[in-house]
């Protein structure tokens, strides 16, 4: 690339690299930028949690 290719474009280059890096990270980890389904995730503390206005309890549904 000829001299001056990045003239005035350093911030834009950083922006593009950041965008692509974040995109790759999200894809490889199965994360969503925008979750339309309003999915919620919790660990195994079995705490009650509201979802869509309803209370879920593991004891009720667990087999």
The residues binding other proteins (CB under 8 A) are 4-9, 12-13, 15-16, 19-20, 23-24, 26-44, 46, 49, 51-52, 54, 56, 58, 60-63
Buried-exposed string 22-61: b where 16+ CB fall within 10 A, e elsewhere: eeeeeeeeeeeeeeeeeeeeeeeeeeeeeeeeeeeeeeee
CB of 6 to other proteins, least distance (A): 7
CB of 16 to other proteins, least distance (A): 4
CB of 15 to other proteins, least distance (A): 8
């Amino acid at each position: 690339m000829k001299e001056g290719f990045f003239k005035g474009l350093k911030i834009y280059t950083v922006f593009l690299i950041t965008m692509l890096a974040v995109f790759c990270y999200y894809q490889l980890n199965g994360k969503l930028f925008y979750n339309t389904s309003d999915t919620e995730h919790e660990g195994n503390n079995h705490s009650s949690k509201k979802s869509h206005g309803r209370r879920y309890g593991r004891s009720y549904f667990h087999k």
